[in-house]
Chains A and B, each alone.
Chain A
């Protein structure tokens, strides 16, 4: 079934650790996005990509990096996690042509102690 998958779903780590949040989609979409969202609050765009080898910073880069080596895979890396990074991270994807309807993954809830 076409969907967007995120792992891990929950993560608790200590300050200073390097972490990678995984996102993969079987939707066949070219565009992918990462958002940071405190529960029920505003969606903050962190990074996005129009396709393979394309990455752009959003409004809230959050001291993170992304890569897009494969169409279906868009991992987000925090080089040194801080308590201020505690939040939910949502991955999304959309088509290049046609509408910009975004499909969201289930999210990763990150807690940095």
Chain B
């Protein structure tokens, strides 16, 4: 069945350094790839998304890249800050399809060391 694999499961970086989280997906028809951030005790919230017609998207310190051929996509956080500490989930779906559901990765717990 459809699957999204996410690595690493935990990641610890020094404040100010960059963090990279990687995901692969199995459904070649997937065309919408969101990233969610879940802070401790809070609900997951969308932080950035990318569609299959775009290879890269940036929003301030975060960026997402997509390689459709390899079915890989990644989240990049630069100049990490303490408030970046959270669990991050990647996901894939056939966006624009009324019958599609979103498949989440297993999550990455990011810790920022002061």
Task: Say whether A and B bind each other.
Answer: yes
**Residues of A participating in the B interface, judged by any CB pair closer than 8 Å:** 30, 33, 39-43, 45, 48, 50, 58, 90, 94, 96-102, 104-107
Q: List 5 A-B contacts (CB under 8 A).
A: A42-B106, A100-B34, A100-B94, A100-B95, A104-B44
Given A100-B95, A101-B34: A106 and B102 interface contact (C-beta under 8 Å): no
* Number of A-B contacts defined by CB within 8 Å: 57
Residue pair A100, B107 in contact (C-beta under 8 Å): no
Given A40-B38, A43-B104: A101 and B46 interface contact (C-beta under 8 Å): yes
Interface residue total, chain B, C-beta cutoff 8 A: 26
Contacts of B106 in A (CB 8 A): 42
**Residues of B participating in the A interface, judged by any CB pair closer than 8 Å:** 32, 34, 36, 38, 40-41, 43-46, 49, 87, 89, 93-96, 98-102, 104, 106-107, 109
Q: Chain B nearest CB: distance from A7 CB in Å?
A: 15
Contacts of A43 in B (CB 8 A): 44, 89, 104, 107
